[in-house]
Structure 1
């Protein structure tokens, strides 16, 4: 199998999850002695955010002082998953919510963004509870390589169950892929004398990969000829995308030919005027092959005159 090249894109959007943690009997826990055991927590809530498991723990420790109604309620975010070689970045945002609805929710308190690698990692504690916002990190995702894999499948002939005989050349393919891409029905063996093998090969590769590599090159007579034949084949097999690609490619070729014909026409003044423009100067720098084609056409018309 050929070596695959991967490109990576960065998913920059944060993934947010909002949860409500309900705490009952907090004052009773304080009076029962939890205020002296600050390392203990009595409520935990486990969430799954963006494919990672998280746990939020509540520590109902009491603030030393004369007021029994003053609490230092702490929340801690625990990462339970495995990040592998990629950091998972997250933070925790919390606010108090009045169960009766008489009071407005308190202002949000948020931790600093923290990177997690192991389950033992955790964020800093907060002094407020109850709504938690957990953000999944930006994780690099490889771009789709399905077309490359299907192209390799076409080249390997693995699992092929249909054969096309085109002008004494054979092409192996897969009926299911052909059926998914084209409404044209196929039998186990198909013979065709109406198409050149090079054209059929390009057609088959497009069916598997959705691209025509020849169209990425500069327009040449051979490319224009291929586009003409593929246009006929695309219309026959119901490949609308390929048909549009061929029409666009051929339109560009015809437009270029008309422009060259206009510039190098009967009047020398037209060519002289074009040569004075900034566009012509850019053409000299960026497209020497097109410039050469233009000069050859102008020279030919000059000899005729």
Structure 2
């Protein structure tokens, strides 16, 4: 009997900074860490801006890719999104994929029924996803389950003749009920039947061949960002008016994320009737021959309260600043074309004081994306607090509560607890709980000879707390003598 042997694995891909990945570009992907299932290497491809096909526009696109070279693998897979409110993983698409052939053998990659990667798209649009509990703290968690189908295993058929005789048969070939037993010859048209124990073994072998342990791995993708704020102070606000539509005042150049930037302020607007009588500011990339993904927002400072308020109602999404490409692809500056306040409202507000306007521009540059493998946390994790047992034992010694033995050292008395001392010293154990224990109960206290009281105090402290008190606490004996006597006492 042929039974498929499978290997199953799960990889969890955490997309941290979900909003910062948008704007990466159509058909550009973020790759997870490589993980292994069934002896083959795999990775997940996540496309923040899709793959350019209109039918998939506005949807989450993910692919599974075979990374092993010169390999051909039959596998099935499904992608799931983790609901971060419940922890449940829901299929991205309505159905799991059928078995497909992944191939990285060059001459087979062009085959219509073989490819190095296969993908799927979410049943939810990105706008629906972003309003759901699948996205939390700007983080999206994708789970990919991969089942690799290896070569089928063929189990040998069982022959009834290989089965040992039953213990129920008696010498005259009759069973305990007196009925005759006849064994079907192998040449009979009836198929040989294995006994129940053999059938159970056969079923168990099939189940074991089909069942495989699932190994879970994880990786996290997070963008490396650099953030900076530039404050542009417009002194003599009224004097700049009349400069002319389309003309601007440029701030000093400032650097964020290794790139140079400046703010352009247009006192009379940008020759567009839609933006007449409104505040217009732009952020411009000053670095030459550069492409930078960044987001920014402009704010006006309320000079009565010191609080900065957004000029526009929303911060910009991630945008591409480009000083390399020519034509329509080249755009070195982006701006908030109009303030939510008209200039007449602005001039009557506390944002303008002493003919001065203060503009904040915060720029976040998105640098290289990095992916790292991350550990899988157990579903149930118990946080064990640090031990304070020794502290408690120290307080027990100091408080003297429950003391049941007293030591006399010269003229000082030291209450203690038999069970603690017996636990720490075989000598005390024999004395308190050995054959001589009855004599101990008749004595008011135990006298310790030839020992300084401070040395005995330090010895008790050590037995309760496993530590020696600071030698500076003892005034009646010097440090060297204290150490010497402690060594003698311990011996």
Q: Which has the higher strand share?
A: 2
TM-score norm. by structure 1 comes to 0.37
Larger Cα-atom Rg: 2
TM-score, normalised relative to structure 2: 0.24
> As a proportion of its length, which structure holds more helix?
1
